[in-house]
Amino acid sequence: MSILSAPPAVSVALGVDYFPGLLDRAAQEALRDEVRAVLIEAPLFRPRMPRTGKPFSVMMSNCGALGWVSDETGYRYQPAHPVTGRAWPRMPPRLVDIWIRLAPGAPPPEACLINLYDAKAKMGLHQDRDEQDLAAPVVSLSLGDTALFRLGGRERGGRTRSLRLESGDAIVLGGPARLAFHGIDRIAPNSSTLLNEGGRINLTLRRVTRRA
Ligand code: MD3
Ligand code: FE
């Protein structure tokens, strides 16, 4: 990755910068292959809802120092895979480079959550608030099938807008958007040829702890 500054962004709302086509096909393929390698070391697991134990429709894994997990006991970040007990694989340097380009000045990312959506998977409206550092933005990268992404405000029940996230797109949520409600309504099956098995991978890079 030779371009060290961020390409032009579309400001979708205050604190929401959208980078359509940030990654060209070659960069998407390289990232896809790195995610595959991570998933060999840290296999996908199916998270469950706190209390009820209801399974998520997405499968997850992580790389980086910390990984986000969810089970009957709650949501949390932890340094080890919930099934294998092993440390998460290191974050691929190309992900750290993207973070530096899109979140200049933010402390280094500690967690990369990997979400895998099949044709039927979705994610209900929620806020990301399990991080101690809510000043740092969240950087999201999409690979594979297009997703219909829904973005609201900081209050549940407010007005929302929809955005299509395509393979290679990035979106950065910071400032007033950091606590915005958001979710994935559905994915468009077979809209991309990047993943042989179909589906969509979302990578979400986050700073979790406050910088020392
Ligand atoms: C807006 N993932 O993992 S990424 C999640 O596509 C999550 O898998 C979705 O929501 C996905 O928590 C959406 C876009 C995104 C990520 C983080 C945000 C939007 C956000 C944090 C605050 C506001
Ligand atoms: Fe989220």
Burial 103-128 (b: 16+ CB within 10 A, else e): beebbebbbbbbbbbeeebbbebeeb
What residue type is assigned to position 35 of the chain? Answer: V
Q: Which ligand is nearest to the CA of 152?
A: 1
Mutate to test the pocket of ligand 1, among 35, 115, 162 (most ligand atoms within 8 A of CB): 115
Residue 212: which pLDDT band, with cuts at 50, 70 and 90? Answer: confident
The DSSP output letter for 38 is H
| Cα(132)–Cα(142) distance, integer angstroms | 25
Query: At 204, is the secondary structure helix, strand, or coil?
Result: strand
What's the gap in Å between 92 CA and the centre of ligand 1? Answer: 20
Q: Which ligand is nearest to the CA of 70?
A: 1
- pLDDT exceeds cutoff 70 at 131: yes
| Cα(133)–Cα(207) distance, integer angstroms | 6
pTM of the model: 0.97
Q: Which helix (H) or strand (E) holds 6?
A: none
Residue 102: which pLDDT band, with cuts at 50, 70 and 90? Answer: very high
What residue type is assigned to position 189 of the chain? Answer: P
Q: Is 32 within 8 Å of 107 (Cβ atoms)?
A: no
pLDDT at residue 211 in the model: 87
- pLDDT exceeds cutoff 50 at 56: yes
Per residue in 30-41, pLDDT tens? Answer: 999 999 999 999
Residue 6: which pLDDT band, with cuts at 50, 70 and 90? Answer: confident
Around ligand 1, the residues with Cβ closer than 6 Å are 113, 115, 123, 128, 138, 140, 147, 171, 173, 177-178, 180, 182, 184, 202, 204
- pLDDT exceeds cutoff 70 at 3: no
Q: Which ligand 1 atom lies nearest to the CA of residue 177?
A: 23
